[in-house]
Amino acid sequence: MAKRTLDSFFQRAISPPQKRSKPSEINNPQDNQDPPSQHPTYPSPIAQLPSHIEVGLVHTTPAAAPRTINNQPHLDLLYFQPYIARTTANELFKFLRREVPFYRVQYNIRRGDTETQITTPRFTTVFGVDETSKFVPRSSANTNTNTNTNRPQSNTSTPGNEDHPASLILVDSSTNEPIPTSKKYHSTPRPIPTCLDLLRKQVEDISQTTYNICLVNYYASGEDSIAFHSDDERFLGSNPTIASLSLGAERDFLMKHKPVVTPEAGRDTPGAGPPPPSKSNSTPNLNSGGSDARPLKLGLASGDMVIMRGATQSNWLHSIPKRKGKAAERSIQGRINITFRKAVVPAGTNNYYHYNVGDGGVFRWDETQRRMVRSD
């Protein structure tokens, strides 16, 4: 997009609305009477955004114009400090921590003859499906030909509300026919709940792109982390745009240029390791960009957002390192990160559900114990 167009877009987007209610003036957390998002694939219903958070999102994002960071080889970032105003971001953090079901996924990796079990060093979950499929209200699916469907059980559907997530079924994007999910996917994809879908639409608008996958990380303390990796898998297509929103405790976001011709480590294996869990989209970096580029550290506070664009993923690695000492004390508040991405083939759906939902138990936030506890 031309610079003038981008500037005028943000100018429009951040100019205050004519009359804006302060979130605190409509601040009853229980005031949203809409039924929660329900779907047979969810472990439990997911509440709608309280009105004061929704109003905060609709009226105050983006809370600041972004800074473009493209002064290094192959780097193209938009950095919002913040994207969501701090008060609304903190409320959204508490809401999502309470409502979203999380997983602590374990998986095996093989190096030569040795198999090692990795426990993902953070809580994760994922919603959405790649672009070869989509969720539609049951009434708009083409049900003439296929009887083996992922149709929800009748006791979880919501009569009279065909757009309610409970009535959504997964169909093939081109034929609109219901998909027998076990034939196409290793795990059953889940629709993005309404509370996250509002964010997805807003972030689509601001980044001028579309997303179909919403991945959520919860870092409970400074011990939780994500190792250096890039989101450059082939199932994201070339030069994917990835929007990454931070809520809760501030953490450092480190970036470094990929080393010249050296394969990167897997995202949760410390040090040198095997390639990431799926095939990379990157061509080996044979030019001098790596040696010229300086590492980058961005502080990500509650409400901040980084949009990574263009050649960034194929040339740069990013991480959230563990934190000790004073920084660890600050991390104890917990942090949620939401990334929006677009997967173009079923391999993307399979990969994301395998590594972010897995086949272990569900964790939910326990307000009394103030930690995630197994809820199944």
* 217 vs 331 by CB, closer to ligand AKG: 217
The distance of closest approach from Cβ of residue 104 to ligand AKG in the complex, given in angstroms and rounded to an integer, is: 15
* 52 vs 229 by CB, closer to ligand AKG: 229
Is residue 318 near ligand AKG by the rule CB under 6 A? Answer: yes
At 177, phi and psi to the nearest 5? Answer: -90, 140
The distance of closest approach from Cβ of residue 321 to ligand AKG in the complex, given in angstroms and rounded to an integer, is: 11
Q: What's the burial of 313, exposed, middle or buried (CB within 10 Å: 0-12/13-18/19+)?
A: buried
Q: Which of 55, 78, 136, 226 binds ligand AKG (CB under 6 A)?
A: 226
**Which x/- pattern over 53-92 shows residues binding ligand AKG (rule: CB under 6 A)?**
----------------------------------------
The distance of closest approach from Cβ of residue 355 to ligand AKG in the complex, given in angstroms and rounded to an integer, is: 10
- Find the helix or strand (DSSP H, E) in which 6 lies: helix 3-14
- Find the helix or strand (DSSP H, E) in which 66 lies: none
Q: Which two tokens stand for residue 108?
A: 């095996």
User: Could you give the angle at the alpha carbon of 266 between the alpha carbons of 131 and 320, nearest 5°?
Assistant: 90
Q: Find the largest Cα–Cα distance for the chain.
A: 66
CA torsion angle 193 231 219 70 (round to 10): -110
Q: Could you tell me if 131 and 212 are in contact, meaning their C-beta atoms sit under 8 angstroms apart? A: yes
* 150 vs 187 by CB, closer to ligand AKG: 187
CA atoms within 13 A on the CB side of 161: 11
Is residue 244 near ligand AKG by the rule CB under 6 A? Answer: yes
Q: Could you tell me if 363 and 372 are in contact, meaning their C-beta atoms sit under 8 angstroms apart? A: yes
**Which x/- pattern over 196-225 shows residues binding ligand AKG (rule: CB under 6 A)?**
-------------------x-x--------
The distance of closest approach from Cβ of residue 320 to ligand AKG in the complex, given in angstroms and rounded to an integer, is: 5
Binding site for ligand AKG (CB under 6 A): 215, 217, 226, 231, 244, 246, 253, 300, 318, 320, 337, 339
